């Protein structure tokens, strides 16, 4: 269904966040290594959804969600709380909030998996992250495909 990967040389925190994200969404995790965008696009053909976690200064800073039609939904992050750092395991929030409902639609996950409190997204059994900005764009791979 979906595949989660990271930027080229991720920090340990970004790898942990990506693995927790994949587990919570019931997606596969792919260790990227030196794989380029062309190879990631070929993986997208088999998985329908590709989630790329990017980082800045050793912390996850952006989540790119690309679908099979090459449409991008990017979430620019303010902060991340890993599952092991959670003090409160209360997964309640607004299930009909705009970011949470769009994520459920794009990722094809059940309603009980993603919740939103203000600008924070909570994944049941996974990490929590605060969204600063949302970017929507088509043609994510912009000519990177080689036929």
In whole angstroms, what is the distance from residue 145 CA to residue 147 CA? 6
Please provide the average confidence, as pLDDT, over all residues in the chain: 85
Residue 101 pLDDT grade (very low, low, confident, very high; cuts 50, 70, 90): confident
In the chain the domains, ranked by start, together with CATH numbers, are 2-138 (3.40.50.10480)
C-alpha to C-alpha distances, 78 to 4, 82, 147, nearest whole angstrom:
20, 14, 37
For 24-43, how does the pLDDT look when each residue is reduced to its tens digit (9 = 90+)? 999 999 998 899 878 887 88
CB of 126 closer than 8 Å to CB of 25: yes
Residue 147 pLDDT grade (very low, low, confident, very high; cuts 50, 70, 90): very low
Q: Is the pLDDT of residue 121 over 60?
A: yes
């Amino acid at each position: 269904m979906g595949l989660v990967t990271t930027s080229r040389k991720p920090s340990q925190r970004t790898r942990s966040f990506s693995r927790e994200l994949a587990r919570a969404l019931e997606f596969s995790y792919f260790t990227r290594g030196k794989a380029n965008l062309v190879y990631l696009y070929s993986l997208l053909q088999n998985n329908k959804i590709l989630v790329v976690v990017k980082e800045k200064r050793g912390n996850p800073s952006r989540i790119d969600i690309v679908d099979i039609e090459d449409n991008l939904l990017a979430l620019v992050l303010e902060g991340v709380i890993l599952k092991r750092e959670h003090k409160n395991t209360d997964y309640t929030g607004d299930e009909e909030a705009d970011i949470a409902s769009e994520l459920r639609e794009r990722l094809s996950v059940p309603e009980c998996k993603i919740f939103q409190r203000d600008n924070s997204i909570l994944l049941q059994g996974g990490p929590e992250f605060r969204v600063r900005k949302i970017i929507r764009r088509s043609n994510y791979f912009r000519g990177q495909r080689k036929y």
